[in-house]
Amino acid sequence: MKLLEEKILKEGKVLSSNVLKVDSFLNHQLDVAFINELGEEFKRLFAKEPINKILTIESSGIGIAALVAQHFDNCPVVFAKNKAGINHDGDFFHTKVESFTHKCVYNVMVSKAYLHPGDHVLIIDDFLAHGHAVIGLMDIVHQSGAVLEGVGIAIEKASQMGGSIIRKKGVHLESLAIIESMHDGVIKFKDNC
Ligand code: 5GP
């Protein structure tokens, strides 16, 4: 998506050859009008799928998922939690996810009240790197008996392999911008996006 690529080039900061900072519109401040346009594009890309629920993971997925959900009819957002709160009651689906940013393994959970066998789920996240977050969410969808309709990612970093692992599983994965490399601070996108 040209618009996202231009925004990344204008506002993104390359922290190392494998970490991109996009705090000005996605990870600290949310550019709501802009993310709405990403939502419109996800709706176009997944128009044929009967999606009734969006699943993401706290915390950075929540903002984008909520704005994307507005483009789908009657579509709540469920976010996987990585900490048990004091109001942790009832039954949960659990999985383990290694955090890209914190390098530790979280026990991630979603209440059984919010995912059911009749659900048709779209997973949304801000970044796709090694794929741990998305693969963990796919595991939770599988445990719930819901149907995984697809995965929508704002920014995929192709050098970190998560995208190819997930595509090999036959999942309908759409990334709005695919970064091929960030050597010496120069961002190069994959040609076909
Ligand atoms: P993965 O699980 O695919 O390795 O990493 C995905 C998660 O790590 C995303 O939910 C995102 O929060 C974070 N992440 C991965 N790469 C980056 C990056 O380059 N920049 C930022 N800001 N977050 C990233």
Within a domain: 21: no
Tens digit of pLDDT at every position of the chain (193 positions) = 999 999 999 999 999 989 999 999 999 999 999 999 999 999 999 999 999 999 999 999 999 999 999 999 999 999 999 976 656 667 999 999 999 988 899 999 999 999 999 999 999 999 999 999 999 999 999 999 999 999 999 999 999 999 999 999 999 999 999 999 999 999 999 975 4
Whether residue 128 is contained in a domain is answered as yes
- Kindly report the pTM of this predicted structure: 0.96
28 located within any domain: no
Cα separations in angstroms, 39 against 50, 61, 73, 121, 164:
16, 13, 12, 15, 23
CA of 112 to the centre of ligand 1 (A): 26
How many domains does the chain fold into?
Answer: 1
Q: Is residue 8 part of a domain?
A: no
Predicted pLDDT at 136: 98
- Residue 193's pLDDT is 45
Which amino acid appears at position 18 of this protein?
A: N
Residue 158 is given by DSSP the state G
Beta strands at 92-98 and 105-111: parallel, antiparallel or unpaired:
antiparallel
Whole domain around residue 121: which residue ranges?
A: 39-177
Which of 55, 100, 106, 165 to probe ligand 1 with, by most ligand atoms within 8 A of CB?
Answer: 100
